[in-house]
């Protein structure tokens, strides 16, 4: 596959008798955004550490553009950028000096280093805070500066490990804006999270891991297609349900399941377009909706269908 940038093959990492990573394989194409999803403790951060060359695997390999990665191949690591879950900043150095320090580690110097510092500060929306110390920044601004540091050397692949932990909504949106700019510029992204809505917004391919193993490796559309119900309809009724209406509703074509609490129904649908037919069917039987809302299936539903538990458990 000539357009594959990163190839992860059969990674294994054990701590004592526990395998944190147990045969993980997937790839990232050039310009692609892959979301690596899983609950806390699923093995995401260990997998990222191995890919980034910070940790050796017990078995398997990581190949970047045909070249092996790992702790013994530091030159290959220069082609990736890593945004770690734990902030890596010097609080008492001005933002631009933090970046100059990190840039020097990548061999940047002189006017080229200054230009890159200015460019990445502008990209993450911190150009006006270049001379301020990170100690004076909000948590979200510190996260954005961390992303800027990972972009100084213009990596082909940017790896982000839970980059929005503890971030306020405004900064989260600023981070997404930055990542979407990188996507448009053709940078490949590997984004790990247990927040499904973030991955749904950014990723064009999704890998879900649990207990150190890959459960699914597919496009969002293909994952949703696995579900018996791809949409949901919540209906609040003017009066309590009568007779066996809820049981009869389960027999309606396109209905995958019904939950009834007396004056409200939660209907799982195989297709969101069937919501209108369900509402009409209820009205025809004297069940008057006073409020209804629809929602499409989510990655949370995919994981629940696969494992029987929540991604955030």
∠ CA 47-82-37, nearest 5°, is: 45
Rounded Cα–Cα distance for residues 210 and 216 (Å)? 10
Per-residue pLDDT band at 310 (split at 50, 70, 90): low
Per-residue pLDDT band at 87 (split at 50, 70, 90): confident
pLDDT at 187 over 90: yes
Contact in structure between 187 and 158 (CB atoms under 8 Å)? yes
pLDDT at 92 over 60: yes
pLDDT at 23 over 90: yes
Mean model confidence pLDDT for the chain: 89
Phi, psi of 140 (to 5 degrees): -65, -40
Contact in structure between 23 and 13 (CB atoms under 8 Å)? no
pLDDT at 27 over 80: yes
Specify whether the backbone of 173 is left (phi greater than 0), alpha (psi in -120 to 50) or beta.
Answer: alpha
Predicted pLDDT at 304: 74
Q: Name the helix (H) or strand (E) containing 210.
A: strand 205-210
* Token reading at 32: 């692609």
pLDDT at 22 over 80: yes
Sheet of 67-68: strand order equals: 18-29, 4-15, 59-64, 67-68
Predicted pLDDT at 46: 94
**N-terminal to C-terminal alpha carbon distance within the chain:** 36
Span 104-156, pLDDT tens digits: 988 899 999 999 999 999 999 999 999 999 999 999 999 999 999 999 999 99
271 or 221: which leads in pLDDT: 221
pLDDT at 202 over 70: yes
Tell how strand 188-193 and strand 33-37 pair up: parallel
Span 211-266, pLDDT tens digits: 999 999 999 888 887 777 778 888 999 888 877 888 888 888 888 888 888 888 88
Per-residue pLDDT band at 73 (split at 50, 70, 90): low
* Token reading at 90: 């010097």
Per-residue pLDDT band at 71 (split at 50, 70, 90): low
Mean pLDDT of 2-6: 88
Neighbouring residues of 197: CB distance < 8 A, sequence distance ≥ 6: 298
Per-residue pLDDT band at 312 (split at 50, 70, 90): low
45 or 302: which leads in pLDDT: 45
Domains of the chain: 4-224 (3.40.50.300), 228-296 (3.30.70.100)
Predicted pLDDT at 100: 96
Span 188-199, pLDDT tens digits: 999 998 788 888
With tokens 């004056």, the residue in question is 263
Per-residue pLDDT band at 33 (split at 50, 70, 90): very high
pLDDT at 311 over 70: no
Contact in structure between 304 and 310 (CB atoms under 8 Å)? yes
Residues paired with 159 in a beta bridge? 82, 190
pLDDT at 68 over 80: yes
Predicted pLDDT at 196: 80
Span 9-20, pLDDT tens digits: 999 999 999 999
């Amino acid at each position: 596959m000539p357009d594959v940038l990163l190839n992860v093959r059969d990674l294994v990492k054990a701590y004592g008798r526990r395998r944190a990573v147990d045969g993980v394989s997937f790839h990232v194409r050039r310009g692609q955004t892959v979301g690596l999803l899983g609950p806390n403790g699923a093995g995401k951060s260990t997998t990222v550490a191995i890919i980034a060359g910070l940790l050796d695997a017990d078995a398997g390999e990581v190949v970047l553009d045909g070249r092996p990665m790992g702790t013994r191949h530091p030159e290959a690591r220069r082609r990736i950028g890593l945004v770690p879950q734990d902030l890596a900043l010097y609080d008492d150095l001005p933002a631009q000096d933090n970046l100059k320090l990190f840039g020097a580690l990548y061999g940047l110097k002189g006017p080229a280093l200054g230009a890159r510092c200015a460019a990445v500060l502008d990209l993450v929306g911190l150009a006006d805070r270049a001379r301020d110390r990170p100690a004076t920044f909000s948590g979200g601004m510190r996260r954005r500066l961390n992303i800027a540091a990972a972009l100084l050397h213009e990596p082909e692949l940017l790896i982000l490990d839970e980059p929005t932990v503890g971030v306020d909504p405004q900064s989260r949106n600023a981070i997404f804006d930055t990542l979407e700019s990188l996507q448009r510029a053709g940078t490949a992204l590997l984004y790990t999270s247990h927040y499904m809505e973030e991955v749904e917004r950014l990723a064009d391919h999704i890998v879900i891991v649990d207990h150190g193993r890959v459960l699914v490796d597919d496009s969002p559309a293909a994952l949703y297609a696995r579900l018996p119900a791809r949409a949901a309809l919540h209906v609040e009724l003017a009066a309590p349900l009568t007779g066996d209406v809820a049981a009869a509703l389960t027999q309606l074509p396109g209905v995958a399941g019904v939950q009834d609490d007396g004056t409200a129904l939660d209907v799982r649908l195989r297709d969101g377009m069937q919501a209108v037919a369900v509402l009409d069917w209820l009205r025809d039987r004297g069940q008057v909706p006073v409020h209804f809302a629809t929602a499409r299936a989510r990655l949370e539903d995919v994981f629940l269908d696969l494992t029987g538990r929540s991604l955030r458990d």
